Structure 1
Amino acid sequence: MRLPSTAHTTQPWLIHEIAADFRLEDVWALPTPGGPDGFATLVSVLQDGDFQQDAPKAARLLWRLRWKVGAAVGVDGNRDGLDTRVQSLRHRLPPELREAAATRPDEGRSPFTFLYELGNERAAEIANRTMHGVVHLGWVPNGEGGWRGQMAVLVKPNGRRGTAYMAAIKPFRHLIIYPAMMRSWERRWQHQWENGTKVPTLRHHDPPAIRP
């Protein structure tokens, strides 16, 4: 489910220093209940997932259409990405994290570039002609004695075109893409538990899968 901005801004995370000039677009509670040491499992589940395979047909089509349209109109051109149109946020990291990021392998199928992983938080970034964005993952207490994942999306639109683009895709993200992603992650999280990890099964008071 969507959360208020304070669910992200009140956490003592490094991302607040690294992306202070970015706008907080969304904060989501992830349907991934666990204990205090569950962050590594969260990262593994999300990295191993394949949204284009797991999502409902409508979400898959919309996701693919986004990248095809982006390629056709030049939104995702090589000259519009990180360290070309905009400087990567890696340059703002402390030296030790910057060095770790430089030796990090590619994120596989993900279009995002790894930024850092520190304690119970992880960040990756992306840039194109319309915006510079960050996806931030955290592991937080759920207020009921357990823990869960949390995702925040931060953006810096590229002028009026970027602002208009973000406004245009917002309904699709909230009604189709994000709910489908949450359901996919919930299924993968449950699968981890069923296969003998320390991840507990969902309880009635844990965050449910988000529905449109």
Structure 2
Amino acid sequence: MRLPATEFTSRPWRIHDLAPDFTVEDVWGFRTPGAGPHDFPIMLAALQTDGGLDRNPPLVHFLFEVRWKLGALFGWDKPGQGIGARIPSLRDRLPPDLRETRTGRAFPKTPFTPVYELDDECAIELANKTVHAIAHLGWVPAPNGEYELRMTALVKPNGLCGQLYMAGIKPFRYLIVYPAMTQQWERAWRNRDRAGSKQ
């Protein structure tokens, strides 16, 4: 479910101080029935187990394949365009208390790198020739007294090329990628007992 940017900006996340130069691109909510305030690590473990890109439907697979082929053609994903090359990692901005926390979990079959992980939020990042992007995951109380997962995409496009790229993929995100992600991530929560056994 798409949410207004204020659902991210109004909450006291640590990421606000780390990424003031990034723009909120999308905020999305995921239903997690029965979730409590301390279940964020369980949700992350479920995503780690059941959330890989290989679980996406064929159309999403096709879109990612097209994206990787375009990246290879135009040199978007060369090592010199990524984290630690074209731009420094967000981890370089971490204050001492966050540096002492766990880096975070790797999410299989994604190009994202962990930045930090707390009891109710985490951040992962990626960079290529078009954009430096952060996916922020947060655990928030829902109106029904349970808790649910929120995902916010924060972006810093790389010049005109990056701006055009973000505009070009926007309809695909809303019409195809996010709906598929919603099914996948909500299924991961339903299958969390299997994920929890692997923590």
Q: Which contiguous aligned blocks of 4+ residues in structure 1 show a shift greater than 6 angstroms?
A: none
Structure 1 residues 87-166: aligned runs within 5 Å: 87-98=88-99, 100=101, 107-166=107-166
The residue type paired with residue 129 of structure 1 is K
2:21 counterpart of 1:2: no
Displacement of 1:4 after TM fit? 0.5
Displacement of 1:93 after TM fit? 0.3
Q: 2:61 corresponds to which residue?
A: 60
Structure 1 stretches lacking a partner, 5+ long: 198-212
Structure 1 residues 165-184: aligned runs within 5 Å: 165-184=165-184
- Partners of 2:31 and 2:67 in 1: CA distance: 26
Residues 99 and 147 (structure 1), Cα distance of their counterparts in 2 relative to 1, 3 Å cut: closer
Check whether the contact 2:123–2:134 (CA below 8 A) recurs between aligned residues: yes
Q: 1:78 corresponds to which residue?
A: 79
- Partners of 1:27 and 1:7 in 2: CA distance: 7
The residue type paired with residue 114 of structure 1 is P
Check whether the contact 1:32–1:189 (CA below 8 A) recurs between aligned residues: yes
- Partners of 1:19 and 1:25 in 2: CA distance: 13
Check whether the contact 1:125–1:134 (CA below 8 A) recurs between aligned residues: yes
Structure 2 stretches lacking a partner, 5+ long: none
The residue type paired with residue 65 of structure 1 is V
Displacement of 1:48 after TM fit? 1.5
Q: 2:39 corresponds to which residue?
A: 38
Q: Figure out how many residues of one structure are paired with residues of the other and give that number.
A: 195
The residue type paired with residue 23 of structure 2 is R
Identity of aligned residues (%): 47
Q: Deviations over 1:63-119 (max 9, x none)?
A: 1221222122110111111121111111110124335567x6855432111100122
CA RMSD of aligned residues (A): 2.0
- Partners of 2:195 and 2:127 in 1: CA distance: 38
- Partners of 2:187 and 2:176 in 1: CA distance: 17
The residue type paired with residue 55 of structure 1 is N
Q: 2:190 corresponds to which residue?
A: 190
Displacement of 1:59 after TM fit? 1.1
Check whether the contact 1:91–1:98 (CA below 8 A) recurs between aligned residues: no
Check whether the contact 1:55–1:180 (CA below 8 A) recurs between aligned residues: yes
Instruction: Please give the secondary structure, in 2, of the residue aligned with 1:28.
Output: strand
Check whether the contact 1:52–1:63 (CA below 8 A) recurs between aligned residues: no
